Amino acid sequence: MQLRASKTEDPEISLTSLIDVVFLLLIFFMVSTTFEQQAVLKVDLPEASNVSQPENQADSFELVIDHRGQYYLNDRRLVDGRPSTLRAAFIEAAGEKRNIPIILRADAETPHHFVVTAMDVTAQLGFTRLSIATERITPDQ
């Protein structure tokens, strides 16, 4: 009869399952997280019923889009409505300045994609001060 205790082995903890669980949690949080996308271009959207008169700024650009989608930059008609033409006109007019305010005036009948193209070109060029002009609605209308 052996009364001596046999050698006891040290307890061993398997980390494999723990690593698997942590890895699965990491994947779950990465997939379920929504990322907030910051706007590159700041757009001031004034309320149409409470429009204040804009200050007359000599160093601002006025981009007008008529109902056919024709662009006018500071009362100069652009050759066509391509983004490259609009980009070239802004570069020629602004040079290296990118903090100049841009006032976007679009006709009510202007197709949406012309306005979006104008906003996209200004954002790509680095302009951050874009205002969309509206008309004041009087209470009797």
Instruction: List pLDDT tens digits, range 89-100.
Output: 988 888 888 888
Q: What is the CATH number of the domain that holds 107?
A: 3.30.420.270
Q: Is residue 58 part of a domain?
A: yes
User: What is the total residue count of the chain?
Assistant: 141
Is residue 110 a part of any domain in this protein?
yes
Is the CB of residue 77 less than 8 Å from the CB of residue 65?
no
Scanning the chain, the segments in alpha helix (DSSP H) are: 16-32, 83-94, 112-125
Tens of pLDDT, residues 73-114 = 888 888 888 889 999 998 888 888 888 888 888 887 788 889
**Residue 105: inside a domain:** yes
Number of domains composing the chain:
1
Range of the structural domain that residue 125 is part of: 42-132
Handedness of CA 25, 26, 32, 33 (dihedral sign): positive
